[in-house]
Amino acid sequence: MAETPYPPELMRDVAKRRTFGIISHPDAGKTTLTEKLLLFGGAIQLAGTVKARKSARHATSDWMEVEKQRGISVTSSVMQFDYQGHTINLLDTPGHQDFSEDTYRVLTAVDAAVMVIDAAKGVETQTIKLLEVCRLRNTPIITFVNKMDREVRETFDLLQEIEEVLKIDCAPITWPIGMGKTFRGVYHLLEDRVLRFTAGEEKRSEGELIKGIANAQLDELFPLEVGKLREDVDLIQGASTPFSLGDFLAGKQTPVFFGSGINNFGVQEILQALIDWAPPPQPRVAGTSGADTRLVQPAEAPFTGFVFKIQANMDPKHRDRIAFFRICSGRYTSGMKVKHVRAGRDMKLANALTFMANERVLMEDGVAGDIIGIHNHGQLHIGDTLTEGENLGFKGIPYFSPELFSAARLRDPLKSKQLQKGLQELGEEGAIQVFEQEGGNMLLGAVGQLQFEVVAQRLKDEYKVDAIFESADIHTARWLTFPDELTRRNFEREQAMRIGKDVDGNPVYLASSRYNLEVTMEKWPKVGFHATREHG
């Protein structure tokens, strides 16, 4: 078969993109690293910008205060900046585990991830979960072991824990010299040089370089630590697997860097690794109009992409919602016409936004890997595909079965229309999952309790609806698939009370208990019960 000729300018521009997210357990230093990456990337001038936002976000009881500050939190979703001739898209993932669903979806839109590990704490629970999500798509992971300026765990121990718990091979690229008060810097195993550590938040460049592990300067500077460093390095070079770009790209091996985000130390190396090693935008699997799937190549000329997140109230002045859309192929140009595949109609894309560290600006030109913000009045849902060419549906954007349920009841029954509208819109946005039961009952499903609080507050403020959430007699939900029409009708007749429809109209089984689910599954062996739903 002849090779498909892709437009050369598109191939050139795509090759310069790096789109990644940062994963970590809360407090490991994600916000700090984000900020320092932006600082080194020249996207912000002052440290403190992102931090201020985070402390605002932390006060969850003051949720509406946070909402009011959405102008700032725009930056929380996507940040684009240029570094060494590359365009970097950093996608933020909400730190609070109650919003993990959102995080999972964001991770479907990246090509690589930076994993931050607190060197004193090692691998923590949220990291384990997030890494599992990355593994679903074999996303390449760069590891940053943070807080070396503190008393931390032994380096070999830490690496062993990462390998065993996260089931990923570690290839140390830098190696720490000392820790805590005697943290001296890192030795670069591939470049045979020591980068000296100096504390301080304000500096922009990293410390002094000393070439060669045998260099006598090291003995003078760190007489107490240099012996151990040389021993360690001998050991690693003998025992650990060397870095392999192929294994990293396959998600099997992670290059590991040590540093201290707060001290700007080790940050530049992460940026460099992103540019040198992280993959450019990757091909993506999409369902075609037949039953087949195919890989959409990033340099294919027709524009395609999918919505992975919807955020409301980003601009306090306008009650708008923004759909975050990952471009998978082609080129965005303002005013272009695209097909909204699920809705089966054409749409004009104009005034799409791009996001810099502190502001949103009109997008002029975007290619695969870039994220554009599309003003959304409800026409776009999470998982929707837009294309310029054939009908496609991108796969892999998950909805997870919620773990908490409640039923919304109105204080003022006359407001039921507003409640319906509010819940429908919040459901489409992915803020919460909404299931409609026979008779019009609206049931809410969430992964974390905080989601209910946010929804209650937003219903009040944005839809003027005062709703009470009552606990619902639901244990879990399963999306249903049927082998044929007859089975579907019979099942629906027998189980009418336990069936609901999600915001896209898909049938869901609402089990009252684990036992109830098991019994029903046994009774209906041909019916599919799915804990996650994928779009496309």
417 is in an annotated binding site: no
Task: Give the Cβ contact number of residue 185 at 10 Å.
Answer: 31
Nearest-angstrom CA–CA distance, 75 and 61:
21
* DSSP assignment string, 247-277: HHHTTSEEEEEE-BGGGTBSHHHHHHHHHHT
Is 530 annotated in a binding site? The answer is no
Nearer to ligand G4P, 29 or 305 (CB): 29
Token digits of residue 475: 């244990």
Quickly count: other Cβ atoms within 10 Å of residue 501's Cβ: 14
| Vertex 373 angle, CA 92 and 277, to 5° | 45
- Least Å distance between CB 163 and ligand G4P? 22
Both tokens assigned to 282: 């990757």
28 is in an annotated binding site: yes
Question: Least distance from C-beta 193 to ligand G4P, angstroms?
Answer: 21
- How would you classify residue 434: left for phi > 0, otherwise alpha for psi between -120 and 50, otherwise beta? beta
Q: Give the residue with the Cβ less far from ligand G4P, 260 or 406.
A: 260
Task: Please state, in angstroms and as integers, the Cα–Cα distance from residue 225 to each residue in 177, 220, 222, 231, following that order.
Answer: 7, 10, 5, 10
Residue 31 CB, nearest distance to ligand G4P (Å)? 3
146 annotated to bind ligand? yes
User: How far is it, in rounded angstroms, from Cα 486 to Cα 481?
Assistant: 12
- Is residue 142 within 8 Å of 114, Cβ to Cβ? yes
Beta carbon nearer to ligand G4P, 262 or 307: 262
What whole-number distance in Å separates Cα of residue 288 and Cα of residue 292?
6
50 vs 459, beta carbon nearer ligand G4P: 50
Nearest-approach distance from CB 432 to ligand G4P, in angstroms: 24
Q: In angstroms, what is the minimal distance from the CB of 50 to ligand G4P?
A: 9
Please list the alpha-helical segments (H only) found in 322-415: none
Q: Is 147 annotated as a binding residue?
A: yes
- Which residues face 375 on adjacent strands? 322
Residue 29 among known ligand-binding residues: yes
The site for ligand G4P (CB under 6 A) is made up of: 24, 26-32, 51, 54, 95, 146-147, 149-150, 260-263
> Do 302 and 389 contact (CB within 8 A), yes or no?
yes
| CA count, 13 A, side-chain hemisphere, 408 | 36
The residue (of 24 and 385) whose beta carbon lies closer to ligand G4P is: 24
CB of 28 to ligand G4P, least distance (A): 5
What distances in angstroms separate CA 313 from CA 80, 90, 310, 402, one per listed residue? 21, 21, 10, 24
Determine whether the annotation assigns residue 118 to a binding site. Answer: no
CB of 184 to ligand G4P, least distance (A): 15
**Tokens encoding 468:** 């009470």
Tell me: is residue 92 an annotated ligand-binding position: yes
What's the closest the beta carbon of residue 58 comes to ligand G4P, in angstroms? 9
- 221: enclosing H helix or E strand: helix 216-221
- Which of 529, 462, 476, 533 has the alpha carbon at shortest distance from 504? 533
Of 46 and 216, CB closest to ligand G4P: 46
Phi, psi of 321 (to 5 degrees): -125, 140
27 known member of a binding site: yes
Name which of 263 and 311 has its Cβ closer to ligand G4P: 263
Q: How far is the CB of 177 from ligand G4P (least distance, A)?
A: 16
Alpha-carbon distance of 70 to 517, in angstroms, equals 41
Residue 298 labeled ligand binder: no
The nearer residue to ligand G4P, 146 or 406, going by C-beta atoms, is 146
CA distances from 243 to 3, 154, 240, 274, 280 (A): 32, 21, 9, 15, 19
Tokens of 45: 């001038």
Backbone torsion region of residue 244, taken as left when φ is above 0, otherwise alpha when ψ lies between -120 and 50, otherwise beta: beta
Shortest distance, CB of residue 151 to ligand G4P, whole angstroms?
10
58 is annotated as contributing to ligand binding: no
Q: Residue by residue, what is the 3-state secondary structure of 56-69?
A: HHHCHHHHHHHHHC
Residue number, 24 or 304, with CB nearest to ligand G4P: 24
Four-residue CA torsion sign, 188, 194, 198, 200: negative
Identify which of residues 182 and 532 has a Cβ nearer to ligand G4P in the complex: 182
Residue 57 CB, nearest approach to ligand G4P (Å): 10
Judge whether 384 is annotated as a binding position: no
Q: SS3 for 350?
A: coil
> Is 95 annotated as a binding-site member?
yes
Neighbours of 172 (CB within 10 A): 27
Q: Which is nearer to ligand G4P, 257 or 435 (CB)?
A: 257
**Residue ranges for the binding site for GTP?**
24-31, 92-96, 146-149
**Residue ranges for the binding site?**
24-31, 92-96, 146-149
